[in-house]
Amino acid sequence: MGRGTTSDLQHHQLKFMIVLGIETSCDETAAAILKDETDLLSNIVSSQAVHSPYGGVVPELASRAHMQLLLPVIEEALKRADVTLSELDGIAVTRGPGLVGSLLVGLSTTKALAVSLEIPFIGVNHLEGHIFSNYLEHPTFNDPAVCLIISGGHTELYSIRDKGEYTFLGRTRDDAAGEAFDKVAKMLGLGYPGGPIIDALAQDGDPTYVHFPRALLTHDSLDFSFSGLKTAVLTYVEALHEGEIRENLAHIVSSFQAAVVDVLVEKSLRAVEHLGVRRILLAGGVAGNKALRKKFKEKTSNKDIEVFYPSPILCTDNAAMIAAAGSFRLKRGERSSLDVNAAPGMRLIAESQK
Ligand code: KG4
Ligand code: ZN
């Protein structure tokens, strides 16, 4: 009996060395091969160019593009990793949150592969994936931390007691931080996605040029709100002539960015103080923002607080992070069954745990 249990455990730990990650929740078609939870053998991300003229993601176009791109992207991930399909021990796929048609492309492809290869798969929460992108780069990290998830669809603060154990702290009441970047960029005719464009432009700007509102900063809660800021930028630019906007563009976007950054940094520091932890993890596309990283550094330099973030390629949507979160859960014995469905509104933790 005893022996059986030990060898079961060893078998368990030896398995899932090589996991294929698949991400199709929005407008990136991505596949990655991850060995032993942290050894990233390949990471292929194909960003769908079809949405650019629309200033945002068109769901129907996204699912169609995933259909065309996913198999070639998986093939490329295997090729770059020098791994064959038969060497895979498991598959991790994004189950939600995201666009239902896009999620279904990843999920049904995963089910077909898992059945034909006779290997297990797991549906992963996209937000947990973003958190795990930090563990990919800092494999030994296992401390209690505050995590700020800042993406195109989410702005949420969590306490992480242990890997995979979350407590909800706060979220945006309206627009997500990334959404605010995208909407302001669209308003100024800068293109999509707006975050990286504003990030680059703002480097030559004066962040104190216009004082835009910092919503909910005086408020006790750890919630956020960015729609008032977006309206304030709109009101400001509407009062200017085209030439004035062009001339001061870097200053305007830099001032907008500073307002977003100030609130994100301040609320995260409050959460850290409140919980008495010393670590902050940043996750999601906006975590790649240079001004944000700089501000965090400035504000924590004289405190015993460490801020962690993934490299930019792992901040925005990718399948490496899905493979990482999936490997962790597969190793713990978790599995999805073939009747698992896409979960477009999936939360990181159940509402009742909030
Ligand atoms: O995590 P992500 O790739 O996708 C979602 O899960 O939504 O995040 C995309 C969002 C977009 O809104 C994009 O404009 C924003 O992240 N973003 C940035 C930067 N890079 C991407 N925002 C600010 N600065 C950046 N450098
Ligand atoms: Zn994301």
| Tokens matching residue 69 | 């791109």
**Across residues 125-139, what is the average pLDDT?**
96
**Across residues 153-179, what is the average pLDDT?**
96
pLDDT band for position 79 (50/70/90)? very high
**Residue 115 clears pLDDT 50, i.e. is over it:** yes
pLDDT band for position 49 (50/70/90)? confident
Atom 13 of ligand 1, residue of closest alpha carbon: 195
**Residue 301 clears pLDDT 70, i.e. is over it:** yes
The residue behind tokens 């065309």 is: 68
* % of the chain with per-residue pLDDT over 90: 87
CA distance 140 to 153: 29
pLDDT score recorded for residue 55:
76
Q: C-alpha 274: how far from its chain's center? A: 24
pLDDT score recorded for residue 54:
82
CA distance 51 to 62: 8
**Across residues 48-56, what is the average pLDDT?**
84
> Quick one: which of 162, 100, 93, 89 has its CA closest to 122?
93
> Quick one: which of 243, 234, 37, 19 has its CA closest to 122?
19
Please identify, by atom number, the ligand 1 atom nearest to the C-alpha of residue 177. 12
Q: Measure 181 CA to ligand 1 centroid, in angstroms.
A: 8
pLDDT score recorded for residue 350:
67
pLDDT score recorded for residue 10:
45
* Nearby residues for ligand 2 (ion, Cβ within 5 Å): 151, 317
Decide: 120 in ligand 1 pocket, CB within 6 A.
no
pLDDT band for position 14 (50/70/90)? low
pLDDT band for position 283 (50/70/90)? very high
**Across residues 308-318, what is the average pLDDT?**
96
**Residue 13 clears pLDDT 80, i.e. is over it:** no
> Quick one: which of 24, 25, 23, 21 has its CA closest to 344?
25
**Residue 5 clears pLDDT 90, i.e. is over it:** no
CB within 8 Å of 51: residues ≥ 6 apart: 27, 57, 58, 61, 62, 192
Helix, strand, coil percent values for the chain (each to nearest 5): 50, 20, 30
pLDDT band for position 3 (50/70/90)? very low
Please identify, by atom number, the ligand 1 atom nearest to the C-alpha of residue 185. 14
The residue behind tokens 């249990």 is: 5
pLDDT score recorded for residue 133:
97
**Residue 16 clears pLDDT 70, i.e. is over it:** no
pLDDT, tens digit (0-9, with 9 covering 90-100), for 320-329 = 999 999 999 9
At 81, which helix (H) or strand (E)? helix 59-81
Q: Measure 4 CA to ligand 2 centroid, in angstroms.
A: 41
Contact 124, 111 (CB under 8 A): no
Decide: 316 in ligand 1 pocket, CB within 6 A.
yes
The residue ranking higher by pLDDT, 347 or 351, is 347
Query: What is the value of pTM for the model shown?
Result: 0.93
CA distance 29 to 15: 27
**Across residues 273-281, what is the average pLDDT?**
96
Please identify, by atom number, the ligand 1 atom nearest to the C-alpha of residue 200. 26
pLDDT score recorded for residue 9:
45
Q: Measure 9 CA to ligand 1 centroid, in angstroms.
A: 40
**Residue 7 clears pLDDT 50, i.e. is over it:** no
* Pairing outcome for strands 90-96 and 121-125: parallel
Please identify, by atom number, the ligand 1 atom nearest to the C-alpha of residue 130. 1
> Quick one: which of 162, 90, 96, 22 has its CA closest to 335?
90
pLDDT score recorded for residue 8:
46
* Pairing outcome for strands 90-96 and 18-23: parallel
**Residue 12 clears pLDDT 60, i.e. is over it:** no
Atom 23 of ligand 1, residue of closest alpha carbon: 195
pLDDT score recorded for residue 166:
97
* % of the chain with per-residue pLDDT over 70: 94
Decide: 317 in ligand 1 pocket, CB within 6 A.
yes
| Tokens matching residue 107 | 């999920």
The residue ranking higher by pLDDT, 4 or 84, is 84
CA distance 165 to 167: 7
Q: Measure 202 CA to ligand 2 centroid, in angstroms.
A: 23
Sheet with 155-162: strands ordered across: 165-171, 155-162, 145-150, 279-283, 306-308
Q: What domains, with CATH codes, occur in the chain?
A: 6-131+316-353 (3.30.420.40), 143-310 (3.30.420.40)
Decide: 97 in ligand 1 pocket, CB within 6 A.
no
**Residue 6 clears pLDDT 70, i.e. is over it:** no
**Across residues 189-216, what is the average pLDDT?**
96
pLDDT score recorded for residue 4:
39
> Quick one: which of 317, 325, 348 has its CA closest to 31?
317
